[in-house]
Amino acid sequence: MPSDAALSFSALNAFYGDSHILHDVSLEVAPGRILALLGRNGAGKTTCMNALAGLLTSRTGRILLNGRDISAFSPEAICRAGLALVPQGRRIFRSLSVEENLAVARCPRPPDGRVAWTDEDIYGLFPRLKERRRHPAGLMSGGEQQMLAIGRALVTAPRVLLMDEPTEGLAPQIVAEVGGIVGRLRAAGLSVILVEQHMAFALKLADEVVVISTGRVVDKAPASAFQADPARLEEHLGVH
Q: Is 116 in the site for another protein (CB under 8 A)?
A: no
- Torsion (CA) 13, 80, 34, 118 in degrees, nearest 10: 160
Q: What is the smallest separation between the CB atom of 155 and another protein, expressed in angstroms?
A: 9
Q: Is 87 in the site for another protein (CB under 8 A)?
A: yes
Task: From 11, 173, 2, 163, select the one nearest 88 (Cα to Cα).
Answer: 163
CB distance 77 to 55 below 8 Å = no
Q: What is the smallest separation between the CB atom of 153 and another protein, expressed in angstroms?
A: 8
Among 91, 171, 180, 224, binds another protein (CB under 8 A): 91
Of the CA atoms within 13 Å of residue 96, those in its CB half-sphere come to 15
Q: Is 133 in the site for another protein (CB under 8 A)?
A: no
Among 3, 19, 41, 95, binds another protein (CB under 8 A): 95
Binding mask 47-66 for another protein (x = CB under 8 A): ------xxx-----------
Residue 12 host element (H or E): strand 7-16
Among 96, 116, 221, 237, binds another protein (CB under 8 A): 96
Q: What is the smallest separation between the CB atom of 178 and another protein, expressed in angstroms?
A: 19
DSSP secondary structure string, 170-216?
--HHHHHHHHHHHHHHHHTT-EEEEE-S-HHHHHHH-SEEEEEETTE
Among 13, 61, 107, 197, binds another protein (CB under 8 A): 107
Q: What is the smallest separation between the CB atom of 6 and another protein, expressed in angstroms?
A: 18
# chain residues binding another protein, by CB under 8 A? 26
Specify the stretch interacting with another protein by CB under 8 A; choose among 98-106, 114-122, 168-176, 222-230: 98-106
Q: What is the smallest separation between the CB atom of 166 and another protein, expressed in angstroms?
A: 15
Among 23, 40, 62, 80, binds another protein (CB under 8 A): 80
Residue type at 42 in one-letter notation: G
CA distances from 113 to 34, 116, 156, 189, 210 (A): 20, 9, 13, 12, 29
- In 3-state terms, what secondary structure has residue 32? coil
Q: What is the smallest separation between the CB atom of 136 and another protein, expressed in angstroms?
A: 11
Specify the stretch interacting with another protein by CB under 8 A; choose among 12-20, 103-111, 181-189, 204-212: 103-111
SS3 labels along 162-179: EEECCCCCCCHHHHHHHH
Residue 160 host element (H or E): strand 160-164
Residue type at 126 in one-letter notation: F
Q: Which residues form the interface with another protein (CB under 8 A)?
A: 53-55, 74-76, 78-80, 84-85, 87, 91, 93-96, 100-101, 103-105, 107, 152-153, 156
